[in-house]
Structure 1
């Protein structure tokens, strides 16, 4: 895994929108430093970094970065109470026909 991805993943999930502007900007800069496309291993690691909300759009950037990697990343439907971003990623993979619908 490349160092930029390791650094981002080590920071844990994205902060929520109540975090400081500095923290959100720091995480955004870390994310934007990751070269595209990502590998399957990196995409799988990055999925763990979704936070509780959109983090002022940073979660969308994360989602789009994950989508530069091999699909599908999430092949099983997220369970009840799953993070909305995991559900969104799963839905987008299904709409793109990367995973079969039952």
Structure 2
């Protein structure tokens, strides 16, 4: 995994809307330091970095970066009833290929 991806992942989840401007700016700069495409392993690690909201659009940039991963998509478990918006979005966009409706009800 590239150092810039490791740094982003090590910083944890994206902050919420109540975070200070300097915190959000730092995360944006970390995200912008990651060049596309990302590897499947990097995409899987980055997928764990979503926060509680869209962080003023930063979460959408993260999602689009994850989607640059070539080849097989990282494993994404079907979202449970308590899954957040980002888990559901990833599942709907690239995680549910090859699964049946029965898989979604487990």
Q: Does 1:53 align with 2:53?
A: yes
RMSD: 1.4
Distance across 2 between alignment mates of 1:18 and 1:75: 29
Distance across 1 between alignment mates of 2:86 and 2:13: 11
Distance across 2 between alignment mates of 1:80 and 1:101: 17
Aligned length in residues: 99
Alignment of 1:40-79 (within 5 A): 40-70=40-70, 71-79=72-80
Shift of 1:80: 1.5
Distance across 1 between alignment mates of 2:24 and 2:53: 12
Structure 1 spans left out of the alignment, 5+ residues? none
Shift of 1:61: 0.3
Shift of 1:83: 1.8
TM normalised by structure 1 equals 0.90
Structure of larger gyration radius: 2
Structure 2 spans left out of the alignment, 5+ residues? 101-106
Distance across 1 between alignment mates of 2:94 and 2:58: 19
Per-residue CA deviation, residues 31-58 of structure 1 (Å, 9 max, x unaligned), is 0110110011101100110000000000
Aligned to 1:89: 90
Shift of 1:29: 0.8
Q: Hey, which bits of structure 1, 4+ residues long, moved more than 3 A?
A: none
Alignment of 1:3-14 (within 5 A): 3-14=3-14
Distance across 2 between alignment mates of 1:84 and 1:75: 14
